[in-house]
Structure 1
Amino acid sequence: MKLYRRYILYIGICLGLLVSPFCTGSAEAKDFVVVIDAGHGGHDPGAIGKISKEKNINLNVALKLGKQIQKNCPDVKVIYTRNRDVFIPLDRRAEIANNAKADLFISIHTNALAKNRTAQGASTWTLGLAKSDANLEVAKRENSVILYESDYKTRYAGFNPNSAESYIIFEFMQDKYMSQSVHLASLVQKHFRHTCKRNDRGVHQAGFLVLKASAMPSILVELGFISTPEEERYLNTEAGTTSLANGIFRAFLTYKREQEIRLNGNSNTILPEDVPEPAMQEEKDSTTAEAEKKETTHSEPKQAPQRPQQAEKAATAQTERSGIVFKIQILTSSRPLAKNDKRLKGLKDVDYYKEGGLYKYTYGASPDYNKVLRTKRSITAQFKDAFIIAFKNGEKTNVNAAINEFKKNRNK
């Protein structure tokens, strides 16, 4: 009888733990898994510059990116295909990601041109058929790593990385993760452009074997050109590698947050507020950053942006009633926008607030989070990078805390 009571008590404790607020979540919950692949390594140096080797640049940025994610995202599991100078076969890299059931695969590389040609800037690639000879050459260079493997003809079914005919297989491939991969690649390029101030060489497709074998959204980043002396020096500085890792990290945060909102209606991933949101920021003109800072800090706008009295009055009334107002942030600008500015895409009742010397434009103010969420969905086609923010008593506040308070008040 005593043993039976102990058994019942044990079952009760287990059930209590399952519903305890200290649990990490439901049975379906799992960490977001990202696999970071530092290209080349060991006896495969990758492209070789005058003062460095590609394999070391790739690893440096990969480790910095992983540390950023681990430091700021406790719900993300980071896996490296390599975290030191070792050779990893190309198919093994994708296998690591597949075995981990990764949500993302990010392969980091450094570009190069032959015959003393020079170029500058970063690009991001997804799986597909190369649309130009230049794109095909990038794929050939990255795929040639398999030549370091003694059994590559068997392991890769006779694929010849230097033969254009081998790449015909990519013409008939149907990648179900293509749209997600392209979107992540676009976010990376936006952050390279705005956060890192890099020359944007765009998003491209080519037949990369390492992406072909991965069963999740996957991108391959080319950080810059080791064959260009100025670029090589930048890629070997602490500031340069830190900036590039930070750009990829911010793109990752934006992507992860969007995926969570799409699946769950909300997200615990917070985008950094200490600098402009590069994914939302519009292209700057040729004026220097110092001039922009001076203008936004010390002078008032010559032409005030649209601030409709009706929307402002409604938002004020909502704040007085509930203390919380949700809004959709649609874009950020270093300068004020006229009410008919084409970047507002015809939206009426657009508001703005100033933060860090920047003008951040919002739409759809309401104390009802669900209403704002529906509004956000209705403008997704026009503003795909829009996201929801919250104000409490006129001050910006943590959106997740505001959502929790909204739900608590609604259930009363």
Structure 2
Amino acid sequence: MKTNKILGFVYFIIVLTYVPYSNAQVKDKFVVVLDAGHGGKDPGNLGNGYKEKDIALKVVLEVGNQLKKNPDIKVVYTRKKDEFIDLFVRGKIANRAKADLFVSVHCDSHTTQAYGAGTFVLGLHRNKTNFEVAKKENSVIFMEDDYKKNYAGFNPNAPEDAISIILGLEEYLDQSIYLASLIQDNFVNLKRKNRKVKQAGFIVLHQTVMPSVLVELGFLTNNKEGKYLNSKKGQLQMSHSITDAILKYKKSIDLNIVNDVKSPIIIDDKALEFEGVLFKVQIAASSRKLEPKPYNFKGLSNISRTHQGNIYKYYHGNTSDYNKAKALVKNAKAKGYTTSFLVAFKNGDKIPLADVLKTNSN
């Protein structure tokens, strides 16, 4: 039953996002969708008495004003005033605009005097801290009407549900990481504590079919940082940092060099190892029995084969590191195996990938 709920949610989101996007009109400008987090009945966090929804909106509107000075850029807002917008509607706005970028702006909170600015891209939250950040932002769905229907029973408090929304949907991850790294570089230039680029399962990022990032400007609960973010100076400096990063990204796109730029981040600076689990990339299934040699598989090495009934399944790679496994998928697709996908094995038996990943999410 739980698996059916998760699959139902994934199917719903795929339909929700891809249909509007595919029907969008041809555009002649670089479209940036700016999303001010929270709004209306949802104030966001209220650290030190400040309102996240107000600060996020002021920063987003300033970013938009700066971007509009470029005649080649079209700016679309998910909200321009203090109003509540459902998370799935924010994604639809971006997809219908056939956006080139989606940037969602928020402020963080903590029970301590934690501080610093960070930028998130869609992905597997690698530790409890990242999951908690995503959980806080995703919990907004409880304020929406018919949220059970709109999100097919998705529970933002369940790590396995948050994982389910990102599996297999990382098409724009490289571009997202590149934009996020540009934003973080600019924050560092402002002498802000660098909380780095991280991954987490944010619903609002999942629903967009373009490079997307979520910016946490800083902690309103920190006395000094909250005051800074609530000030005109702080909002201008942060908005200029985001704007400059978007313009640098656009320039790289115009010069067609984004894919040649190595993202300067290693998320959490650690390998993501799963003890006792082996990840492989399934590249083919056939009734033909082929020798697992590179010459039979477009030069791919480390090929293995399993036999089930009349079908032989062929796999590329073998690693317990999830990040290395994702790199193997990219390698297989680059070789022409465009429908290849990741599978997991334990003690020689194939096991559900989501079950493996959720063991490392809390």
State the TM-score, normalizing by the size of structure 1.
0.55
Post-superposition offset of 1:263: 7.6
Match of 2:191 among 177, 186, 197: 197
Decide which of 212, 226, 233 is 2:206's aligned counterpart: 212
Cα distance between partner residues in 2 of 1:93 and 1:172: 21
In 2, Cα distance between equivalents of 1:88 and 1:80: 11
In structure 2, distance between residues paired with 1:135 and 1:90: 19
SS across alignment from 2:210: coil
Tell me what 1:172 maps to.
Answer: 167
Report the equivalent of 1:96.
93
Correspondence 1:79 to 2:76: yes
Give the equivalent residue in structure 2 for 1:68. 66
Q: CA deviation at 1:41?
A: 0.0
Candidates 122, 143, 147, aligned match of 1:152 = 147
Amino acid at match of 1:36: L
* Contact 2:122–2:166 (CA under 8 A) maintained in structure 1: no
Match of 2:127 in 1: 132
1:114-136 CA distance string (max 9 Å, x none): xx312111000000010000000
Task: Quote how far apart the aligned CAs of 1:257 are.
Answer: 0.1
Report the 3-state secondary structure (helix = DSSP H, G, I; strand = E; otherwise coil) of the residue aligned with 1:172. Answer: coil
- In structure 1, the residue matched to 2:272 is none
Match of 1:110? 107
Alpha-carbon spacing, 1:171–1:253, altered in 2? closer, same or farther (3 Å): closer
1:209 alignment partner AA = I
Choose which of 158, 163, 174 in structure 1 pairs with 2:158. 163
Do residues 122 (structure 1) and 117 (structure 2) align?
yes
Task: Indicate whether 1:37 and 2:35 are aligned.
Answer: yes
Unmatched 5+ stretches in structure 1? 1-27, 265-278, 281-412
Letter in 2 for 1:46: G
Deviation at 1:165, TM superposition (A): 2.7
TM-aligned CA deviation for residue 103 of structure 1 = 0.4
Q: How many residues align?
A: 236
For 1:232 and 1:165, the matched residues in 2 are separated by 33
The two structures, once aligned, show a CA RMSD in angstroms of: 2.0
Displacement after TM superposition at 1:87 (Å):
0.2
8 Å CA contact 1:94–1:210 kept in 2: the answer is yes
Q: CA deviation at 1:197?
A: 2.1
| Alignment partners' CA distance in 2, 1:134 and 1:170 | 18
Deviations 1:191-223 (A, max 9, x none): 1111x2211110000000001010100000000
Query: In the alignment, which residue of structure 2 is the partner of 1:49?
Result: 47
For structure 2, the 5+ residue unaligned runs are: 1-25, 265-362
The residue correspondences of 1:3-402 to structure 2 (distance < 5 A) are 30-71=28-69, 73-113=70-110, 116-170=111-165, 172-194=167-189, 196-262=190-256
Q: 1:60 to 1:29 in 2, by over 3 A?
A: closer
**What percent of counterpart residues are identical?**
49
TM-score, normalised to structure 2, is: 0.63
Paired letter, 2:87: L
